[in-house]
């Protein structure tokens, strides 16, 4: 257990950030699932519109430091390729 005031403050802050970052990751996953569901349903218009929103959410997660930029770039690339193959 932390003994210094600054260490206790850091623990509290880390816990808060963990909750916020978890919510952000969950939000991103939800939008990606919508795109993947549209791809499975072979609905290109819905997949394309969902992809635009999901891409925006993914990039927000990168800017906030929740996800790594290369990981998101790979995810966007693969989703885009799947949509083109519909």
DSSP H/E element including 51:
helix 44-64
Angle separating helix axes 5-40 and 44-64, nearest 10 degrees: 170
Distance CA 86, CA 68 (A): 28
* 3-state secondary structure at position 54: helix
Q: Please give the pLDDT value at position 51.
A: 98
pLDDT tens sequence across 1-58: 789 999 999 999 999 999 999 999 999 999 999 999 999 999 999 999 999 999 999 9
* 3-state secondary structure at position 42: coil
Distance CA 81, CA 28 (A): 19
pLDDT at residue 66 tops 90: yes
Q: Please give the pLDDT value at position 2.
A: 84
**Structural domain of 42:** 5-84
| Count of the separate structural domains present in the chain | 1
Domain CATH for 52? 1.20.58.110
Sign for the pseudo-dihedral over CA of 16, 62, 67, 84: positive
pTM over 0.85: yes
Question: Please, are residues 13 and 21 in contact by the beta-carbon 8 Å criterion?
Answer: no
């Amino acid at each position: 257990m932390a003994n210094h005031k600054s260490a206790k403050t850091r623990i509290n802050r880390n816990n808060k950030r963990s909750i916020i970052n978890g919510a952000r990751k969950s939000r991103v996953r939800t939008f990606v699932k919508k795109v993947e569901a549209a791809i499975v349903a072979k609905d290109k218009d819905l997949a394309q519109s969902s992809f635009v929103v999901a891409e925006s959410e993914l990039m927000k997660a990168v800017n906030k430091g929740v996800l790594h930029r290369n990981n998101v770039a790979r995810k966007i690339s693969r989703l885009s390729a799947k949509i083109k193959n519909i």
